[in-house]
Amino acid sequence: MLKFFARYKTFAIVFFILSVIIVLCIYSLLKPEERLPIYQPDMVNAELVDSSMQYVRKYHKIADFNLVNQNGDTITEDFYKDKIYIADFFFTTCLTICPIMTDHMIKIQKEIKNDEDVYLLSHTVFPVADSVPVLKKYALEKGVIDEKWNLVTGEKKEIYDLARKSYLATKSTGDGGPYDMIHTENFVLVDKNRQIRGFYDGTDPEAIESLMHDLKILKEEYHQ
């Protein structure tokens, strides 16, 4: 009996290895491809969406914009043409969630600084105070890389419309007029077609890890 097993030992090992390879190949073929959703306004918490957009179910994209960054340069949607980017809303004198969000943006900047496909965009929600010199001072203090990360200001109405009609990411205060709002912790992942592919809590380290994971998935989508 021992001679019988000894005779087929090599065959058994080879057969086992081939079986494992075949099973792994089948699993790989059957495993569904991981793909990010394309968010539409009707999929998002209504508190974060302008009432004119709440029932939109398809074709939603980030609107054209014309803003000014920390260097006084005009930044439009063309800067992000054929690029993936991560957007948020903040103001420089915020002492609550903004410092945490900025720290996480800095961490993301470090990860993507050599990636030509990925950029960052932070909008101030307090443009009356966050002038170009104020944004520049803030950028220098935080170590912002100008080529990767725009801190932008502009007309209050345009910024607030972008926040609630395009990025679906901020709450209206409901008591200060049509263009007053409470900025939130949301980081928004935007694809090369200006579509929203993910929302993340910019104050949560685990959410930032999820964002970086989803960023890899999104990049793979363009390499298939």
Indicate the annotated binding residues: 94, 98, 183
Contact yes or no for 167/62 (Cβ under 8 A): yes
What is the CA angle 177-39-33, rounded to 5? Answer: 160
> What is the C-alpha separation between 33 and 142, in angstroms, rounded?
38
> What is the C-alpha separation between 48 and 170, in angstroms, rounded?
5
Residue 188 DSSP class: E
What is the CA angle 193-209-43, rounded to 5? Answer: 45
The tokens for 87 are: 């957007």
Binding site members for Cu cation: 94, 98, 183
